[in-house]
Amino acid sequence: MTLSVRTVVLVTLVGLVFGAAPPVGAQRASVDPATAATIRRLLELTGAAKLALQTMEQMMPSQRAANPQVPAAFWDAFLAHARRDVPQLVDSLIPVYAARFTKPDLDELVRFYESPLGRRLSAAQPMVTQESMQVGQRWGARIGGEVGDSVARAAAKP
């Protein structure tokens, strides 16, 4: 369950950062203050904001390369703005978590992330995420090369 929490955070953050809108219902949901406080604590313990910024910073070079028409000043300002507005992102995530986890679920997740193993996972997660992205890029490049070679061979046959 702990990794799925990280996955929810990453998918949500990447979508928010690079253009996908969060579900409309998630934006409008009302969350009771106790549940909201528990979610905030969970996001704090998991390092969600730090992980979001790390993910954005790691993806920025590929975004710059894919969009050379966008001036460098935009990307620099984008990151500065994202760093400044992280609390708004956390606020936006509260209804997403509230829609998917009960208060007892959230309390259990908080207990886990407050445990020695949970703290260890939170500390390791940024490097795990970074290394996983690198592994995924190499994997995708290998598959792309294999498919490209296959298509080229098929096209070369008489």
**Model confidence over 4-52: pLDDT tens digits?**
444 444 444 445 444 444 444 444 568 999 999 999 999 999 998 888 8
pLDDT at 55: 84
- The structure's pTM equals 0.68
Token readout for 7 is 């996955």
H or E element in which residue 7 lies: helix 2-17
Check if the beta carbon of residue 14 is closer than 8 Å to that of residue 63.
no
Which residue, 113, 133, 99, is CA-closest to 25? 99
Give the mean pLDDT of 123-131.
Answer: 89
Residue 114: pLDDT over 50:
yes
Residue 2: pLDDT over 90:
no
Cα→Cα distances 57→14, 140, 152, 156, Å: 11, 20, 35, 41
pLDDT at 119: 95
Cα→Cα distances 65→26, 71, 77, 144, Å: 32, 11, 17, 18
Check if the beta carbon of residue 46 is closer than 8 Å to that of residue 1.
no
Give the mean pLDDT of 97-112.
Answer: 97
What is the per-residue pLDDT across 55-75, written as a single tens digit (0 to 9) for each? Answer: 888 889 989 999 999 999 999
Which residue, 93, 97, 95, 91, is CA-closest to 109? 97
pLDDT at 29: 60
Token readout for 74 is 């935009």
Measured distance between the N- and C-terminal CA atoms of the chain, rounded to whole angstroms: 53
